[in-house]
A and B are shown apart, each in its own frame.
Chain A
Amino acid sequence: MTGTFVCRVAPLTVGLTLVLNMAPAASHAALDMVVGARQVVKNEPVSACNSKARDALNSVLTDAAEVGAGDTGEWKANSAPDASGHSSAAAAIHCYPLDDVSGYLVTFTCAAQVPPNADSASVLCTKLTQAFAGGKAQAQTAPPRVARQT
């Protein structure tokens, strides 16, 4: 009788222990925003900036889109949405033509909610800057799986 009871209760205890240990510790999600890099690129048209901005955003985040109507040179993208359709990170790349250097000004601005986003805003902006410069694109680190109440 005792053996049967132990056999039934032991898996329950193991299950509870496993999951409670896996459960995330209570912590406050905080918004993290950063002023990313600013660069002046000479002798290159702003159209090149737009193209690189879109590609960089798509390589690190998803669904890059130019904000507003026409050639605004202002690009934005979000991280891939989670199961509930929410994004925990976003970034903007601004391109602005500079006639005096026949080039453009480009700035990177990033925001992330940490947790659940695995990358801080600073890391996100670093990845974007590298991708923009032609470095190997590093996609956002996948966020840890979190148990969800249904």
Chain B
Amino acid sequence: MPKLLRSLSLLVALSVSVFWANGTAPAAVEMSAGIRHVSDTGSLADCSAKAKAALTAYLRGETESAQGSGEWIAMAQNPRAGAATAAATVRCYGLPQGYVVTFTCAVQLPENPYGADALCLDIAHKFYGGPLTELAAMPAPTPIPTGCSTANLVGTWAADDKAGLTLTADLNGNLTDSDGVSGNWIIKGSAVVLTYYGEHTLALTSDGKHMRGGGYSFTRRC
């Protein structure tokens, strides 16, 4: 019987922890390929100039993969995702008469506010002419929570029993103390697990202002 209880405890712990550990929505890479344009006139340099201009209209940081290659890439940062979620390449190749250019785009969904096809179509139309569809703006960054929320630990916490010791917790589950030592935090209900010089389980008070337990006691500045 005790063995069964121990096994059940382990299973419960594993299940609860898996539930806590990951709240990330599944994401996917969407690629758009297939737009190719052949021009009977113009040089590789002409294609390059247009490629750069077309990319600049929708993305940032346009870069030629090797100088004079005519192969360009650019990205778009997503402030809310905190990372790039859209990118495109425009690749020019000089022909005996004119050039051929291909457009390939990729976005990360669901974070990116528009699809890869829409991006590529706009870049291609910007390059050789055609109707342009306004792309949705990148979302603004998530505002950092303030106050004594009971849903997170974001903010600065002062140790009640050790003068000068503070912990600063961020939105991503990281924390740093006043000496620069880093750790992590997780909250589920009113239970807090701090990974900071080992793991400590604390209880958050109903006003979100205090957490105590595991040999620690902190008060949030809010």
Chain A positions within 8 Å of B, measured between CB atoms, are 4, 7-20, 23-26, 28-35, 38, 67-68, 72, 74-76, 78-79, 82, 84, 86-92, 94, 96, 98, 100, 105, 107, 109, 111-113, 117, 146-149
Contacts and interface: CB of A to CB of B under 8 A. Distances in A.
Contacts of A67: 33-34
Nearest to B201: A16
Interface of B: 2, 5-7, 9-14, 16-24, 26-31, 33-34, 36, 65, 69, 71-73, 75, 81-89, 91, 93, 95-96, 100, 102, 104, 106-108, 112, 172-174, 184, 186, 193, 195, 199
A-B complex: 6 closest residue pairs judged by Cβ atoms: A15-B13, A111-B106, A67-B34, A23-B21, A19-B17, A30-B83
A117 B21 CA distance: 19
A78 to B, nearest CB: 7
B138 to A, nearest CB: 13
- The DSSP consensus for interface residues of chain A is mixed
Nearest to A96: B100
A145 to B, nearest CB: 11
Contact of A68 (B11, B13, B34, B88): B34
A146 B24 CA distance: 10
A31 B36 contact: no
Contacts of A113: 27-29, 108
B33 A111 contact: no
Nearest to B63: A35
Contact of A111 (B13, B65, B87): B87
A62 B14 CA distance: 33
Given A14-B10, A94-B36, A105-B93, A20 B31 contact: no
A74 B23 contact: no
Given A26-B172, A91-B31, A11 B73 contact: no
Given A105-B100, A113-B28, 17 more contacts: A7-B6, A10-B6, A12-B12, A13-B13, A14-B10, A15-B9, A26-B184, A31-B86, A33-B89, A67-B33, A74-B33, A75-B33, A86-B28, A92-B104, A98-B95, A100-B95, A113-B29
